[in-house]
Amino acid sequence: MLDGFALLALLVATLRAATPLLLAGFGELVAERAGVLNLGVEGMMLVGAATGFIATAATGNPLLGLLAAALAGAAMALLFGLLTLTLRANQVACGLALTIFGIGLSALIGLPWQGTPITGLATVLWPGLDAASPLVQQFMLLDPVLWLALAAPLLVSAFLYRSRPGLVLRAVGESHDVAHALGYSVLRVRYAAVLFGGAMSGLGGAYLSLVYTPMWTENMVAGRGWIALALVVFSAWKPGWLALGALLFGFVTIAQFHAGALGLDISPHLLTMLPYLATVLVLVLISRDATRLKLNAPAALGKPFTATG
| Domain carrying residue 44 | 17-221
**Cβ(231)–Cβ(283) below 8 Å:** yes
197 in a structural domain: yes
Total structural domains within the chain: 1
Alpha-helix runs per DSSP H in 62-121: 62-81, 91-110
- Tell me what pLDDT residue 161 has: 95
Nearest to 190 by CA among 293, 83, 297, 97: 83
Task: Tell me the backbone φ, ψ of residue 213, rounded to 5 degrees.
Answer: -140, 90
Buried b (16+ CB within 10 A) or exposed e, 99-119: bebbbebbeebbeebeeeebe
DSSP H or E segment with residue 147: helix 144-162
Looking only at Cα atoms, what is the longest distance across the chain? 66
241 in a structural domain: no
**Cβ(114)–Cβ(218) below 8 Å:** yes
37 in a structural domain: yes
Amino acid (one-letter) located at 218? E
Cα gap 223→220, rounded to integer Å: 9
Helices 41-59, 62-81: axis angle to 10 degrees equals: 150
Alpha carbon distance, N-terminus to C-terminus of the chain: 62
**Dihedral sign (CA 137, 138, 139, 144):** positive
Can you give the pTM of this predicted structure?
A: 0.90
**Cβ(261)–Cβ(208) below 8 Å:** no
285 in a structural domain: no
- Tell me what pLDDT residue 286 has: 65
55 in a structural domain: yes
275 in a structural domain: no
Alpha-helix runs per DSSP H in 182-220: 186-207
12 in a structural domain: no
Nearest to 215 by CA among 76, 123, 68, 110: 110
C-alpha torsion angle, residues 255, 260, 264, 268 (rounded to 10): 100
pLDDT tens by residue, the chain, 309 residues: 456 667 777 888 899 999 999 999 999 999 999 999 999 999 999 999 999 999 999 998 999 999 999 999 999 999 999 999 999 999 999 999 999 999 999 999 999 999 888 877 765 555 555 555 666 666 666 788 998 999 999 999 999 999 999 999 999 999 999 999 999 999 999 999 999 999 999 999 999 999 998 999 999 998 999 999 989 988 889 999 999 989 988 888 887 776 655 566 666 666 677 777 777 777 777 667 667 677 788 999 999 998 754
- Tell me what pLDDT residue 1 has: 47
9 in a structural domain: no
Cα gap 157→243, rounded to integer Å: 11
Task: Tell me the backbone φ, ψ of residue 198, rounded to 5 degrees.
Answer: -65, -45
Cα gap 40→194, rounded to integer Å: 11
